[in-house]
Chain A
């Protein structure tokens, strides 16, 4: 099958406007005849659901949490980018587009990213109108900061909880439509299968997480806004419940999964403290604006430090290696996330890591406190310092923070065209769930922007184009396709419950995470990836032979929920490895050791790999089929990223 991205003709800056005019419209009086299912209530899902309902469509909204307001967008700290140029410092739609394409290491679509930059300005207007309390200056106008290495101040923020405030805005818009009767919310409900009727996505099968009831829901279109799959690694900054099941079950129904190996490992997380660790906590990237990253110059000093024979303060200035400032004098501590993470791994691999595990580097604020004063640093980062102290029992005002990279975001996801529709007609994917805008590496403050762009300003246009061509008829949930999908869900559930093995679901999940982190983490090579493939298959077979799931389906059964999710992770992990294997180049967050410059920087191979890898399911134990969408760059020149 040829992948048609459906990018509109014409100059880059005019594509979206032209497309908005070209798409078919649904008559306002007819919108109420269409039902749309939206799975997930994060920024993309909640904003899409609310906007669809405002337009007049009937919406069913699903989330596994007990309230839509808890979706994991809520945990985003830093901010949201927009090309407002309020600071008069040279920003523009084109610059935001350019930075995002470059930041993604030239592995995303020009047209999508340009549209993202265009609608970014509308997002801020929308959120302010909803009452989102962005940071303001004394004159009462909005404040901005530079974020994630950007050369302009285009990031809008709400203290350290921009994600929560934006999500509460979208949640309030959703609530308003619930009150109007245009949206029905199904909390504590998990999608377990997609239903295709006559080649079109026409509904989903869900499990009620309180009663275990398996139910079918029919609609004219289905939107998946179910987030990323970082929890394949077991330890990540994702929420405990974040999972890939909805997207994965859609993949198994024929939707293509694009660039699964593109994973973002965030450089500033609190290091692992022990085998009991259940998740990792991110410390906002904004800390790198003032903190200096270093490790001891020698392995000997690092060893003494780890054994507790010396303290941090005993290490002379001359014995400290501020390795980011040394290697990248132009960007210093503000290099992009992938570069900062890989360098932390490098110095730890050399044996210069700190903390008792040796898997940490310092982020030191001593100089910033000396320069700006304790009060100024506390005003900027107080809540982050408090959080750090709460978790580690150390005072970051006095001793440097210890940080280490952790899985944070997945750029890959369901393949979508310019309309955000997957290759399955009527099935859309939005936000982190799709692959579309971040290429091989996402820039800071871009995830919130993309989620809200998709939900507020892209899908409401593009979904109308599809629905306008659809008959109004509803498909009954008695249709054989629904019954078959329900049966499929029951079969998987019964199989999981009947194994009655000896190992817990978490035990398998940790084992998978270990394989992924070891072989498909910050650095990858062909040999390791081959090992990973075998190990994952072995583990998956073991899972289906020996997993222990207690209880029954007809109750709140946390183990059963997790078992479904981990069963899917065990398949997705293999696809990630497969994708990492075929991409024999380094780009963004995907670092193949075989493809690096003499200075150990990522080396792209534009001649052979400037494409999107979209995978088609061919059976669990069969090799998936690779489809390639070539990326064309007409408005930017591909250059080797350099932050020296």
Chain B
């Protein structure tokens, strides 16, 4: 067990180093931050001074080693644009993203599972057909189109919900939440639906196919033959087994949502990490971009590691490998 853990950890470190290297090299090509930092009419001397001050005059390899060294001490550098430590910048944006992701995930599960069951149990009913057709649209429509459509309908035409922002926030010390105010909750609705839509359709389709699978297995048919109540069979015997893969997928999807809420956050001006990232791309704010990629890499490495370890607990056969 310990051997397995240490091998996993070593692999994780290697992956992280690779991510850092790719991030770093990639940002050599997104442009020169000095060009966007100097004022109009700056002299060459001014530009050179700034370049030296930012450490951009040194060879790429030296910059990379310095960067890794800094990261190891927990220092992700200072944002070129906001003049603030990147770590605190990311942390200040984390609550917004997490709240959005949590609501979106809950929404996806709460709507996706019942719809999936419905489609499996009554495949020919009008409602199931309608659901299947709609989810096809949902899965193929780009997020920004969904978002803008929702804004057009609910913000511009009906004027029920705000088109952007987080509304009024309640400060809980380290965490600013939108859950505790009316405008905060209203602001959550459109972005979370937008973010949840893809995941919702995924879960619905997964539940449907798993349910159909499980329902055709022997033990379910036997349960029917025994005359057990239908509700009991569906809920306790079939759905429970069908949900196993859903749990795994949802876990992995949460990582996806945190990392790729970028589009939703930009469309709704949701002040989370994704918006921070989009703003950084145009500048280019290299420390923020690098830190964000590192964070996303770290998130996925952690999630995968935890999933792997959980599997070995669930399935003893994997332990011997």
Is the A/B pair a real complex?
no
Report B's interface with A, CB cutoff 8 A: none
